[in-house]
C-alpha cells in the first residue's frame, strides 16, 4: 500500500526542531555558511574541489548527528554513500543533457529547408536571451527534481546511516508522493529566490545571501531527515 507522508506536519515539526535545538541549527548553519562562502570565493578555481569534498563530509555528519549515529564521522558509511551520490549526480547530468538537446532535435528531423532555417533563427534568438534560458532550466529541473533528486536523496541518507543505499528501494518506498516532494522543491526554490531578490534589492552581496541560505539548508536537512524517518524508520 502506498504511504503518503504528512507534508504540513513534517514542515511544522522541522521548524520546531530548528527552534528547540537552536544551538545545533546555528552551529551547523555557521559551518555550512563558512563552506558555502568558501565555495563562492573559490568558484572556477582548483580550491573548489577540496571544499566540495569537505562539504560532502559535513553534510553526512549532520544526518549521523541527527539520527544519533556515533561516531558522527565514520569512514565506512561515508564511502558507501558515494555510490548513491554518484548515481544521483549522473541522473541529474543525463536529464540536464536531454533538456539541453531537446530543442535542437527538430533541426535533425529535416522537415523542410525553410522550417530548419526559421527554427535555427528562433533558436539563436532564444540562446541570446540568457535570463529566459535560466528560468526555463529552473522550471524543468523543479518538475523532475522529485524523481532525480529528492526521492533518491533518501537513499543517500540511508547509506550515510550505514543502511542500504538502494535508489530503487527509495523510489519504491516513496511511490505516490511526487506532489509532496515537488511542493518541498518549490518551497525551497521560492525561499531562495525571494531571499536573493531581497538581499540584492538592499545592495547585499553573495556572502550575505549564503548566510541565510545556510540556515535554509539546515531546515531542508531536517525536513529530509523527517521524511526519511517516515518511510524508513518510525512513523512521526
Which three cell numbers, joined as nine digits, stand for 187?
A: 518551497
Which three cell numbers, joined as nine digits, stand for 144?
A: 523532475
Average pLDDT over residues 102-106: 56
Cα–Cα distance, 88 to 84 (Å, whole number)? 6
Structure pTM? 0.84
> Closest Cα to residue 87, out of 185, 159, 188?
159
Which DSSP symbol is given to 27? H
Per-chain mean pLDDT for the chain: 84
Which DSSP symbol is given to 43? T
Which pLDDT value is given to residue 198? 85
Which pLDDT value is given to residue 37? 93
Which pLDDT value is given to residue 189? 87
Encode pLDDT of 160-199 as tens digits. 998 888 999 999 999 999 999 999 999 998 888 888 888 8
Q: How confident is the model at residue 235 (pLDDT cuts 50, 70, 90)?
A: very low
Which three cell numbers, joined as nine digits, stand for 134?
A: 535560466
Q: Which residues contact 170 (CB under 8 A, 6 or more apart)?
A: 151, 152, 153, 154, 155, 158
pLDDT at 130 over 70: no
Q: Which of 8-12, 20-24, 103-107 has the lowest mean pLDDT?
A: 103-107
Distance of CA 164 to the CA centre of its chain: 20
Count CB atoms within 10 A of the CB of residue 156: 24
Amino acid at each position: 500500500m502506498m504511504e503518503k507522508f504528512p507534508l504540513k506536519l513534517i514542515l511544522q515539526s522541522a521548524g520546531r526542531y530548528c527552534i528547540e535545538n537552536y544551538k545545533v541549527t546555528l552551529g551547523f548553519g555557521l559551518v555550512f555558511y563558512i563552506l558555502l562562502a568558501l565555495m563562492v570565493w573559490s568558484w572556477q578555481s582548483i580550491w573548489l574541489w577540496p571544499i566540495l569534498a569537505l562539504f560532502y563530509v559535513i553534510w553526512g555528519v549532520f544526518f549521523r548527528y541527527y539520527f544519533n549515529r556515533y561516531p558522527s564521522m565514520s569512514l565506512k558509511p561515508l564511502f558507501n554513500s558515494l555510490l548513491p551520490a554518484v548515481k544521483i549526480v549522473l541522473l541529474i547530468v543525463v536529464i540536464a543533457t536531454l533538456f539541453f538537446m531537446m530543442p535542437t532535435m527538430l533541426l535533425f528531423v529535416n522537415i523542410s529547408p525553410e522550417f530548419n532555417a526559421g527554427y535555427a533563427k528562433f533558436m539563436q534568438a532564444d540562446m541570446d536571451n540568457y535570463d529566459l534560458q535560466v528560468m526555463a532550466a529552473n522550471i524543468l529541473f523543479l518538475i523532475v527534481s522529485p524523481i532525480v533528486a529528492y526521492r533518491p536523496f533518501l537513499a543517500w541518507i540511508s547509506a550515510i546511516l550505514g543502511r542500504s543505499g538502494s535508489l530503487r528501494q527509495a523510489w519504491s518506498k516513496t511511490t505516490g508522493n511526487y506532489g509532496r516532494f515537488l511542493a518541498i522543491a518549490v518551497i525551497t526554490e521560492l525561499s531562495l529566490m525571494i531571499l536573493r531578490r531581497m538581499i540584492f534589492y538592499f545592495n547585499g552581496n553573495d556572502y550575505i545571501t549564503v548566510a541565510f541560505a545556510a540556515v535554509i539548508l539546515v531546515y531542508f536537512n531536517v525536513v529530509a531527515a523527517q521524511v526519511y524517518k517516515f518511510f524508513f524508520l518510525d512513523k512521526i
